[in-house]
């Protein structure tokens, strides 16, 4: 395990990544990844293609998803790993979230129209996507010349302080964890360092996550500093959660999220891979 290159958090064109699932797997193979999860936002549409390509490349594949949800009105992401992607409880859940995504897209594009930007055109471009995200809208805004790059598109228009910000009512954290569990998956609290919570709030979040059946927390993700990892490890120990790791890779053009970056889990943390080994495998 210590020599394995593990990446358990990645995105493809099935959500807001820029590589198709098979391309993502080929890029992972070039980086000598041996264990890979595809975890697109609220969709499992890319998993079959990624699984096939992993089989061809000799990479062990973990089916995954990154479920958008909320806890105390704060947006939280939960990565599901090694679930039965076809399970009806999971698919029903994801269908509902994708419905919320489409409704938010329409509201957001209406705001863009009201701001004199080509919201209707962007809506037409994005509405057909299985999992429309703000990243798609940001790319379209850049294409239409309304922002120089994605960062500016979020800052000026789409981010929390942007002029076209629309708040979505995502499903509750416990509901998302429940759907992943029902499908036999391991629920992992994603990127705890990004929630802008106090230490006390993070502990309450982890308590709620654990009570709902969450099993692991990301302790080593690209973009996490040593202090972030130390805090996440202390949460892992306190709430008896395993540690997960990955890149949150979206695009080869974003070098600060390198696919398959090689990291070691800190001492004293149970690797989430130990839980994956006993999780039911798809098809078994
Ligand atoms: P959504 O889940 O539709 O709200 O879209 C959020 C996605 O936008 C995240 O998964 C990130 O990939 C991306 N994102 C969020 N903030 C930024 C930012 N400031 N710059 C670039 N991408 C961002
Ligand atoms: Mn994303
Ligand atoms: Mn996320
Ligand atoms: Mn992600």
Q: What DSSP string runs through the chain?
A: -TT--EE--B--TTTT-SS-HHHHHHHHHHTT-SEEEE--BT--TTHHHHHHHHHHHT-EEEEEEEEEEEETTEEEEEEEES--TT-HHHHHHHHHHHHHHHHHHHHHHHHHHHTTS-HHHHHHHHHTSSS--HHHHHHHHHHTTS-SSHHHHIIIIISTTSTT-----PPBHHHHHHHHHHTTPEEEE--GGGS---HHHHHHHHHHHHHTT--EEEEEETT--HHHHHHHHHHHHHTT-EEEEE--B--TT-TTS-TT----PPTT--BHHHHHTTSPPTT-
Ligand 1 mutation target, pool 135, 166, 196, 223, most atoms within 8 A of CB: 135
Find the 260 Cα to ligand 2 centroid distance in Å. Answer: 17
pLDDT at 171 over 50: yes
What pLDDT band is residue 1 in, cutting at 50, 70 and 90?
Answer: very low
Nearest-10 Cα torsion for 123, 126, 132, 136: -100
User: 116 CA to middle of ligand 4, Å?
Assistant: 31
Cβ atoms within 10 Å of 98's Cβ, excluding its own = 19
Determine how β-strand 186-189 pairs with β-strand 74-81.
antiparallel
Ligand 2 center to 5 CA (angstroms): 22
| Structure confidence by residue, pLDDT tens digits, 178-234 | 999 999 999 999 999 999 999 999 999 999 999 999 999 999 998 899 999 999 999
Residue pLDDT, tens place only, 2-60: 457 999 999 999 999 999 999 999 999 999 999 999 999 999 999 999 999 999 999 99
Residue owning the nearest CA to atom 13 of ligand 1:
135
Give pLDDT, residue 284.
Answer: 43
Task: State the pLDDT confidence band at 134, using cuts at 50, 70 and 90.
Answer: very high
Instruction: Take atom 4 of ligand 1 and give the residue whose Cα is closest.
Output: 134
The residues lining ligand 1, judged by C-beta closer than 6 Å to any ligand atom, are: 16, 41, 68, 133-135, 150-151, 154, 159, 250
In this structure, what token pair is assigned to residue 266? 């800190």
Mind listing the pLDDT tens digit for each residue in 229-262? 999 999 999 999 999 999 999 999 887 788 987 6
- pTM of the shown model: 0.96
Give the mean pLDDT of 122-127: 96
Share of the chain above pLDDT 90, in %: 88
Cβ contacts of 253 within 8 Å, gap of 6 or more: 18
């Amino acid at each position: 395990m210590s020599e394995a290159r593990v990446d358990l958090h990645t995105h493809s064109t099935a959500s807001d990544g820029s590589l198709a699932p098979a391309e993502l797997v080929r890029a992972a193979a070039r980086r000598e990844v041996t264990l890979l999860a595809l975890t697109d936002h609220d969709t499992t549409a890319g998993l079959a293609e990624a699984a096939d390509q992993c089989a061809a490349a000799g990479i062990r594949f973990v089916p995954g998803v990154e479920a958008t949800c909320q806890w105390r009105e704060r947006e939280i992401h939960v990565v599901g790993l090694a679930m039965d992607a076809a399970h009806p409880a999971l698919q029903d859940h994801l269908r509902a979230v994708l419905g919320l995504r489409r409704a938010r897209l329409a509201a957001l594009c209406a705001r863009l129209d009201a701001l004199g930007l080509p919201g209707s055109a962007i809506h037409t471009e994005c509405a057909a996507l299985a999992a429309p995200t703000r990243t798609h809208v940001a790319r379209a805004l850049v294409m239409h010349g309304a922002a120089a790059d994605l960062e500016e598109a979020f800052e000026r228009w789409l981010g929390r302080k942007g002029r076209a910000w629309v708040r979505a009512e995502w499903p509750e954290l416990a509901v998302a964890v429940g759907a992943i569990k029902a499908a036999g998956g391991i629920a992992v609290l994603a990127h705890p360092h990004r929630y802008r919570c106090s230490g006390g709030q993070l502990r309450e979040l982890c308590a709620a996550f654990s009570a709902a059946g969450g099993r692991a927390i990301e302790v080593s993700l690209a973009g996490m500093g040593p202090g972030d990892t130390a805090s996440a490890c202390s949460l892992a120990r306190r709430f008896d959660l395993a540690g997960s790791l990955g890149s949150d890779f979206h695009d080869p053009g974003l070098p600060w999220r390198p696919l398959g970056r090689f990291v070691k889990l800190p001492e004293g943390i149970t690797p989430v891979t130990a839980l994956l080994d006993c999780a039911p495998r798809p098809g078994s």
